Structure 1
Amino acid sequence: MNLIVRNIAPSCSEQEVREFLQHELGHYAKNVEVIDAGTPAAYATIELNAEAPPYVGDVIARQIHGKQLGGQTLEASADLFSDEPPAQ
């Protein structure tokens, strides 16, 4: 299962986003990929550890959703079926 995090501030570097998400997700994050860092279209996909039950993705997404990073409010959602970000 993946999480998608959108509305990442263009002022945030890839490393800042990755470190923030790894800190917030702890052991649940298997892999964090930041796409288009430094642009208004930046987003991140987080692959969760396979041991995490499916509902954990929704719970984590709700906890990340609304947090501030780089002065912008993050939007997060769990994506059960696809590795691609949802259409904007």
Structure 2
Amino acid sequence: MKLLSAILPVVALVAATGQVEARNCRKGLVYCGSTLRSIATGTNYDPVMAATGHADNNDLFDCTDDDGNIRWVTYCYNGCVDSGRETNDYCRP
């Protein structure tokens, strides 16, 4: 019972704040499909990528706005490189 009473305030805080670590893509940056999936706490990118007709981890996407909308750019035949936060991902040469 003590554990439950300790957990409930934390659950209530998370529920009150909504998406604690919500992240969408950032407008103007380019992302690998795998990167979009890894940051997908604000937007579930699987159906968003599927809607473009491309849903592979090696697909490259342009983030068109800060609401998480994307457009397909190209497929990276040699693999897609996650270059880190706030930096464009790219196709391996």
What is the TM-score normalised by the length of structure 1?
A: 0.28
Of Structure 1 and Structure 2, which has the larger fraction of its residues in strand?
1
* RCO higher in structure (CA 8 A, sep ≥6): 1
Compute the TM-score of the two structures, normalised by the length of structure 2: 0.27
